[in-house]
């Protein structure tokens, strides 16, 4: 039953699709490939490119954007920006995502590509790379324009990419209100977000030609469903239909499904010198994929940094190793509650020792294993975990009897940024990746707070307590080494 939509209207204008977001499987569809007016669903692509541009250093969240006459003249819904006004990009992103402000969307496009027409061309290139084969964009906001068309299937694909490709920014779509700099704005989809359990986005759209559109996403337990509806007759009837389809999706979706993330498209932005470039997407497994760059003009410097020279650990770096081993030692202490858990802890500790030895061998100069270690002061002792568990390398676990070691900088002041280097199946695996990354990027991450955050998708490995510049630089360096890295910042 289609609520509030006649059969004649449904055949001409109505379209819907229900997707299992975890693997992209289609659970229900109706006219899903019919090209229709997307209205402000368009802004999902505008914001997707904005997130991409920020992550790759094209523009910063605190970059002051000068509002053009073209952007200021956009019809409502709008933030009310004036020509010549300067406003930070982060506020434009909030206004476009939450209020669906047309002037903010146009300003974002102009700030990134110089003009709305150039930005529309980038939108179409990105849409093609995402597999949105039946979508054509003419502007950044979605107001009706000849040839500006998309489908329920394509918009569902875009919504899935927004969720998986830029998880650090996705939370903005669930905010019912947001500070947009000049004023606080309210979400255009507050009714659905407040009424449907588990709903956390994504975007509404309305024009007289399009009707009431919505791409919605919700998570319950292990399942996440994305539902797209085009051509609703009203906000109420559209939300009722989306609710019905969401329930259908959760009913049909199996509980245990392996998450197969969509492949991130190539980066088609600009280098620091303004040269156009294409970079392949980063792999899901750190250290097992590479990033290739093809530039369309001759350049004098490679964007990939040279390998850092191998060297012996400095005293302060040894202290950092000691601090890093604390997490392993504490975990083993807790594991001694039962014999079964102790056995698991012993196996995990042995693996951690091997990782530390491997990393130490990579950082130290060749042949250092054959050199006798420098005698340590009597106040330092080797710490054995248990008599039956292999000891960690002496360089990593040597510490004073009651040391007071400061290894991380405060996250106060401007250090409110961080980076995410992936989501893993276990807390141990996430900590192992954090430790290895910290050792190989001591110059960048010395003083950063290592934190594992449990989510419905696994264990997120994060470094916190960085400045915005440091977070961006860290991700660029890690990306050059094939490590999946996303900045985490207050949007």
Give residue 12's pLDDT: 35
**Which of these, 314, 311, 327, 310, lies nearest to 397 by C-alpha position?**
327
Do 438 and 396 belong together in one domain? Answer: no
Task: Compare 335 and 329 and report the one with higher pLDDT.
Answer: 329
Sequence-distant (6+) residues with CB within 8 A of 200 are: 170, 171, 173, 174, 193, 217, 218, 219
Do 37 and 80 belong together in one domain? Answer: yes
Question: Is 53 inside a domain boundary?
Answer: yes
Domain that holds residue 35: 7-252
Do 330 and 384 belong together in one domain? Answer: yes
Highest-pLDDT range among 216-220, 265-269, 482-486: 216-220
Cβ atoms of residues 85 and 66 within 8 Å: yes
CA–CA separation, 194 and 215 (whole Å) = 16
Do 388 and 425 belong together in one domain? Answer: no
- What is the domain-level CATH number for residue 425? 3.30.70.1070
Do 387 and 437 belong together in one domain? Answer: no
Question: Is 283 inside a domain boundary?
Answer: no
**What are the tens digits of pLDDT across the range 460-479?**
999 988 888 888 888 888 88
Question: Is 299 inside a domain boundary?
Answer: no
**Helix, strand or coil for residue 151?**
coil
The full DSSP string for 95-135 is IIIII--HHHHHHHHHHHHSSHHHHHHHHHHHHHHHT-TT-
Question: Is 407 inside a domain boundary?
Answer: no
Do 149 and 225 belong together in one domain? Answer: yes
Do 468 and 393 belong together in one domain? Answer: no
**What are the tens digits of pLDDT across the range 209-250?**
999 999 999 999 999 999 999 999 999 999 999 999 999 999
Question: Is 86 inside a domain boundary?
Answer: yes
CA–CA separation, 472 and 488 (whole Å) = 9
Q: How many domains in the chain?
A: 3
Single residue among 234, 252, 270 that ends a domain in this structure = 252
Do 483 and 343 belong together in one domain? Answer: no
Give residue 4's pLDDT: 41
Catalytic residue positions, numbered: 40, 43, 100
* 422, pLDDT greater than 60: yes
Give residue 349's pLDDT: 58
Token code pair at residue 395: 């360089």
Question: Is 268 inside a domain boundary?
Answer: no
Question: Is 406 inside a domain boundary?
Answer: no
Do 141 and 67 belong together in one domain? Answer: yes
Highest-pLDDT range among 35-49, 296-310, 352-366: 35-49
Do 214 and 130 belong together in one domain? Answer: yes
Single residue among 226, 252, 278 that ends a domain in this structure = 252
Beta bridge partners of 109: none
- What is the domain-level CATH number for residue 192? 3.40.710.10
Q: What mean pLDDT do residues 480-484 have?
A: 82
Q: Of all helices (H) and strands (E), which one includes residue 339?
A: helix 339-363
Do 476 and 344 belong together in one domain? Answer: no
Question: Is 62 inside a domain boundary?
Answer: yes
Do 91 and 225 belong together in one domain? Answer: yes
Maximum distance among all Cα pairs of the chain, rounded to whole angstroms? 88
Single residue among 236, 252, 268 that ends a domain in this structure = 252
């Amino acid at each position: 039953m289609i609520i509030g939509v006649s059969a004649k209207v449904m055949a001409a204008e109505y379209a819907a699709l229900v997707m299992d977001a975890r693997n992209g499987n289609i659970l229900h569809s109706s006219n899903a490939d019919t090209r229709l007016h997307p209205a402000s669903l368009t802004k999902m692509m505008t914001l997707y490119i904005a997130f991409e541009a920020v992550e790759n250093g094209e523009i910063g969240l605190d970059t002051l954007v000068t509002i053009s006459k073209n952007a200021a003249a956009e019809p409502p819904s709008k933030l009310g920006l004036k020509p010549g006004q300067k406003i930070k990009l982060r506020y434009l992103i909030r206004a476009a995502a939450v209020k669906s402000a047309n002037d903010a969307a146009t300003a974002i496009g102009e700030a990134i590509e110089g003009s709305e027409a150039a930005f529309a061309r980038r939108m179409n290139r990105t849409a093609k790379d995402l597999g949105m084969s039946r979508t054509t964009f003419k502007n950044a906001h979605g107001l009706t324009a000849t040839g500006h068309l998309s489908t329920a299937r394509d918009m569902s694909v875009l919504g899935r990419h927004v969720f998986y490709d830029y998880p650090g920014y996705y939370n903005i779509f669930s905010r019912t209100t947001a500070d947009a700099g000049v004023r606080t704005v309210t979400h255009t989809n507050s009714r659905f977000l407040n009424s449907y359990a588990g709903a956390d986005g994504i975007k509404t759209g309305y024009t007289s030609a399009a009707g009431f559109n919505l791409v919605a996403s919700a998570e319950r337990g292990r399942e996440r469903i994305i539902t797209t509806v085009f051509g609703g007759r009203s906000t109420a009837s559209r939300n009722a239909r989306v609710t019905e389809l969401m329930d259908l999706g959760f009913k049909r979706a199996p509980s245990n499904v392996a998450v197969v993330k969509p492949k991130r498209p190539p980066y088609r932005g600009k280098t620091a010198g303004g040269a156009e470039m294409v970079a392949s997407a980063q792999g899901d497994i750190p250290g097992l994929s590479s990033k290739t760059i093809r530039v369309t003009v001759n350049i004098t410097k490679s964007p990939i940094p040279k390998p850092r020279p191998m060297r012996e650990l400095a005293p302060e770096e040894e202290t950092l190793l000691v601090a890093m081993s604390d997490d392993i030692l504490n975990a083993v202490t807790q594991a001694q509650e039962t014999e079964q858990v102790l056995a698991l802890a012993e196996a995990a500790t042995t693996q951690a020792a091997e990782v530390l030895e491997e990393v130490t061998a990579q950082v130290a100069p060749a042949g250092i294993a054959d050199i006798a270690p420098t005698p340590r002061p009597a106040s330092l002792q080797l710490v054995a975990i248990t008599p039956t568990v292999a000891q960690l390398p002496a360089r990593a676990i040597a510490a004073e009897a009651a040391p007071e070691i400061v290894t991380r900088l405060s996250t106060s002041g401007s250090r409110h940024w961080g980076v995410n280097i992936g989501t893993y199946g276990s807390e141990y695996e996430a900590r192992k990746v954090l430790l290895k990354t910290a050792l190989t990027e001591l110059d960048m991450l010395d003083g950063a707070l290592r934190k594992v955050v449990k989510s419905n998708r696994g264990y997120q490995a994060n470094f916190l307590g960085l400045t915005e510049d440091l977070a961006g630089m860290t991700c660029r360096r890690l990306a050059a080494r094939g490590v999946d890295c996303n900045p985490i910042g207050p949007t």
